[in-house]
Copies of this chain bind each other. A is one copy, B any other.
Amino acid sequence: MKSLLLFLLLCSTILPFAVEGAIRRYKWEVKYEYKSPDCFKKLVLTINGRSPGPTIKAQQNDTIIIELTNHMLTENVAIHWHGIRQIGTPWFDGTEGVTQCPIQPGEIFVYRFVVDRPGTYLYHAHYGMQREAGLYGMIHVGLPDGELEPYYYDYDRSIVLTDWYHKSAAQQATGLASIPFVWVGEPQSILIQGRGRFNCSTPGLESGLCNATQPECSPHVLTVVPNKTYRLRIGSLTSLAALSFEIEGHNLTVVEADGHNVEPFVVKNLFIYSGETYSVLVKADQDPKRNYWTSVKVVSRDSNTPNGLAIFNYYPNHPRRAPPTIPPVGPGWNDVAPRVAQSQATLALKGYIHPPPQTSDRVIVMLNTQNNVNGFRRWSVNNVSFTHPYTPYLIALKENLLGFSQVEPPSGYKADYDIFVVQNNTNATTSNGIHRLEFNSTVDIVLQNANTMNVNNSETHPWHLHGHDFWVLGYGAGKFDVNIDPKKYNLVNPIMKNTVAVHPYGWTALRFRADNPGVWAFHCHIESHFFMGMGVVFEEGIEKVGKLPSSIMGCGAAKFNRRP
């Protein structure tokens, strides 16, 4: 009786805290294993033996604790929690060189952060080019108990997409950093929830590595019950490819983008860029006597990568039963208009609009170009190609160490630059200098695309901002006009995102509040583009950052920084 009373007393004391957010603990063992995700056997970087890694499922305001052990033999690691703003914990953003030192072999590193908003997020390695080795996964954050999404669905499912290369990350990085430059080429496969299918009859393969009967590369199956509605969370963590996702014969109603509710719109195929997440509603309203193809196609590049295929399985059909139809071929790779149209259709849901500041304090225009710098092929912003420092900025700034250029990169480019032709950009340089933003100021970024070093070629770049969401104020074709284009900004119901596409020969305008004390990367989410320098770093409110945990230190000038 006494213990019952004590129990009730404890419950009444504890419950209010429990409602504030649970603590969710994970133990992750990171190591290389041989896997055959597309039937071709190669080393894959796994979490607890899996790639993609386990999905983190939490509720808003939960605290996530990941105890990560690096079991690799000679490689370090770091993991970024993509879309999580890390308010109050900028040191756990997981961005090597920016917010932490890499985690050494044998080391146990504890990430601890709050997921403060519902929505669909991602995680992945953020060190060297390890992400493409297979270290990635999803984060689902649900609403607190009793709260409802502004749309109805029966079941919640998810799919993470990536592209897949047979060369190792080290092989790719070595080629990219070589003279002459060796491009990574198009991916061998598209993986849907970690499963793809490379053609093992492709000539020139090393024998014994490709096995079409390998169960690991049987297609992903999503089983649905007829007439039920599914919320499908889709995330892309491709290394290179922009994708078009479709489910044969089914409409997709877009309701969420990067954790924000979207004014619903219907598409046959969803365009998705690396670093983005969407939720779409799919109703199993087609002929239930058969299965359907899920088909994922590379767009924006003239790629020879075959479409990724999965099975949209109507219960009780056999999940492995192939649909009787030819998989949809998807849209033309070079048809830009529907991609821009989807971007422009993605607007904040009425009732869930975060009104943007109507003016900004600062505008940074970022010209995206491909350059040669000292004989190396690079990507640059305003002719400055980003290089990683060895002392992470957060530590360097907070602990008053040096270790990076104190020259701020330019906030614009020459007015007479012709974005439609190949440019020599002979003044291009490399730097690890950063932008220092006034705390709480409102910053506009205009990402300006241009011609690459090949004639009549401009690529799509998905830019991802750490530590913030931004308002997407507008997209435009051609060269941004500072006098005219800002007047067309959507200041009424812009969507907030953390990753946004810059379309070929176009511009994209963003606005964000520099209100999150820390140091934050902003970069093209194409793995090789960031490696080649396509990024910048922002500092804001460094003086407001709390005491850094010692666990993030141990490299560069912070090698022997000990916390008492």
Binding site for B on A (CB under 8 A): 32-34, 43, 73-77, 102, 104-107, 127-130, 168-171, 173-175, 178, 182, 203-208, 390, 550, 553-556, 559-563
Contact = CB atoms under 8 A, between A and B. Distances in A.
Contacts of A130: 74
A559 B205 CA distance: 44
B562 A178 contact: no
Interface of A is mostly: loop
24 contacts: A32-B170, A33-B178, A34-B175, A43-B171, A43-B174, A73-B128, A73-B173, A74-B75, A74-B76, A74-B77, A74-B128, A75-B170, A102-B105, A104-B559, A105-B390, A168-B168, A203-B207, A204-B208, A205-B206, A205-B207, A553-B560, A560-B561, A560-B562, A562-B562
A174 B562 CA distance: 34
Instruction: Say how many copies of this protein the assembly contains.
Output: 2
Nearest to A97: B106
A173 B205 CA distance: 23
Given A74-B102, A206-B205, A390-B106, A33 B559 contact: no
A453 to B, nearest CB: 22
Given A106-B555, A205-B206, A560-B562, 17 more contacts: A33-B178, A34-B174, A34-B175, A34-B178, A73-B128, A74-B130, A76-B104, A104-B390, A107-B390, A107-B559, A168-B168, A206-B206, A554-B555, A554-B559, A554-B560, A560-B563, A561-B562
Contacts of A559: 104, 107, 554
Given A33-B178, A104-B102, A104-B555, A129 B73 contact: yes
Contacts of A104: 76, 102, 104, 390, 555, 559
Contacts of A205: 206-207
Nearest to A76: B74
A317 to B, nearest CB: 36
A207 to B, nearest CB: 3
Question: 10 nearest interchain CB pairs?
Answer: A204-B207, A106-B390, A74-B128, A560-B562, A73-B128, A206-B206, A562-B562, A74-B75, A32-B174, A554-B559
A107 B101 CA distance: 12
A438 to B, nearest CB: 31
